[in-house]
Amino acid sequence: MSNEEEAVTQAQGVLQAHFSALNVADEKALAATLHFPHYRLSSGKMKVWESPESYLSDFHARAGDGWHHSDLDSIDVFAAEPEKVHLDVRFTRYREDNSSMGQFRSLWVIAKLNNVWAAQLRSSFAP
């Protein structure tokens, strides 16, 4: 496996782990999928979380009223190098009755920093 292929495997694993932790509200596992500071561009505004605590304090509020879980619809590699991968991600947010709240697209940048793979930043069309 090439260095780029290994990077893609790691990056996809981070994203899968993030959504899994999000859906079961495992705060420790969720924070472990992110580098801090962590950046998110959405609705024309850049949000910066300096620490896991600041991120976790408002992560439920971001998905909207009625949110229950999110599913990954697709993960496509936009670009990859041995220590950074850009992923084109499509996901759907659901209510508890499995009705869709909407489908969204985002760009995730997963990087290997200090020998740890995690999401460094993302730009999302989700509110």
Q: pLDDT tens digits for 53-110?
A: 998 887 655 667 788 999 999 999 999 999 999 999 999 999 999 999 999 999 999 9
Domain holding 82, by residue range, is 3-124
Cα–Cα nearest to 69, from 119, 124, 19, 107? 19
In this prediction the pTM is 0.92
| CA atoms of 91 and 59, how far apart (whole Å) | 16
Which residue intervals of 1-127 are DSSP H helices?
Answer: 3-24, 27-31, 52-56, 59-62
In the chain, the number of structural domains is 1
Say which CATH number the domain at 114 has. Answer: 3.10.450.50
Burial class (CB in 10 A: 0-12, 13-18, 19+), 71: middle
What is the total residue count of the chain?
Answer: 127
